[in-house]
Chains A and B, each alone.
Chain A
């Protein structure tokens, strides 16, 4: 069974701090994704990656960056945390075909609930 592990379940940070959210998957998946989940807005894509050192912007990349130095690990970085980034963050991975990360199920981690005060 695919396992996607997010390093923290709950995180509280102060405005202006640099925040790292880590995600590791154990199924050798090419594709990895970061979503944020807010009530009434569903899941919104922040960034995704279809290969090591590759990254693509999602719908709401502002205020975020990502790093994928190894295939199994995809990190989300909040350069300077703000209160409007308080949210649930979900990492996901899927099997892919290089630059065409389509048509295969997403496997999600348990999420990191981030509170920025």
Chain B
């Protein structure tokens, strides 16, 4: 959606490297920022989320950071594995969910 810009649209990394996907949003009232992973032919599934009162959240190899002043949030995947290959969507809520356009991550073995 136009409220959320997501970059890059495609990302190719070597197995074991880190991957970073960034999103910017426009409305300062947004307070919830989830990330979804969609494998080929499957439904999007929540992998991590962050609320506006928190600056960073980590879950094993996945972390999300939020900069409210700059209105951007990022997904960080460390020690990437081939099974991380998928399309990743960021989202933010302001009255209704807006999604980014997606990042296709390819992890090369």
- The answer, yes or no, to whether B42 is at the interface (CB within 8 Å) is yes
Q: Is the interface of B mostly helix, strand, loop or mixed?
A: strand
Contact with A along B34-63 (1 / 0, CB 8 A): 101000001111100101000000000000
Given the known interface contacts A101-B96, A102-B93, A106-B97, the answer about A42 and B1 at a Cβ–Cβ threshold of 8 Å is yes
Given the known interface contacts A40-B101, A44-B1, the answer about A102 and B32 at a Cβ–Cβ threshold of 8 Å is yes
- Contact of A90 (CB < 8 Å), options: B44, B95, B98: B44
Contacts of B42 in A (CB 8 A): 110
> Min CB distance, B44 to chain A, in Å?
5
Contacts of B101 in A (CB 8 A): 40-42
Q: Are the CB atoms of A108 and B96 closer together than 8 Å?
A: no
> Min CB distance, B20 to chain A, in Å?
19
Nearest-neighbor residue (CB-CB) of A42 within chain B: B101
What CA separation (Å) do A110 and B100 show in the bound complex? 20
Contact size class for B?
A: 20 to 34
Given the known interface contacts A44-B1, A48-B96, the answer about A106 and B32 at a Cβ–Cβ threshold of 8 Å is no
What CA separation (Å) do A107 and B36 show in the bound complex? 10
- Contact of A108 (CB < 8 Å), options: B9, B32, B43, B95: B43
Contacts of A103 in B (CB 8 A): 31-32, 51, 93
What CA separation (Å) do A43 and B32 show in the bound complex? 17
Q: Are the CB atoms of A108 and B45 closer together than 8 Å?
A: yes
- The answer, yes or no, to whether B25 is at the interface (CB within 8 Å) is no
What CA separation (Å) do A35 and B51 show in the bound complex? 23
Q: Are the CB atoms of A56 and B96 closer together than 8 Å?
A: yes
> Min CB distance, A35 to chain B, in Å?
8
> Min CB distance, B40 to chain A, in Å?
12
What CA separation (Å) do A107 and B97 show in the bound complex? 13
Given the known interface contacts A90-B44, A102-B32, the answer about A42 and B96 at a Cβ–Cβ threshold of 8 Å is no
Contacts of B31 in A (CB 8 A): 102-103
11 example contacts (A-B, Cβ-Cβ < 8 A) are as follows: A40-B9, A42-B99, A43-B44, A44-B99, A45-B1, A45-B98, A56-B96, A101-B96, A102-B93, A103-B51, A105-B49
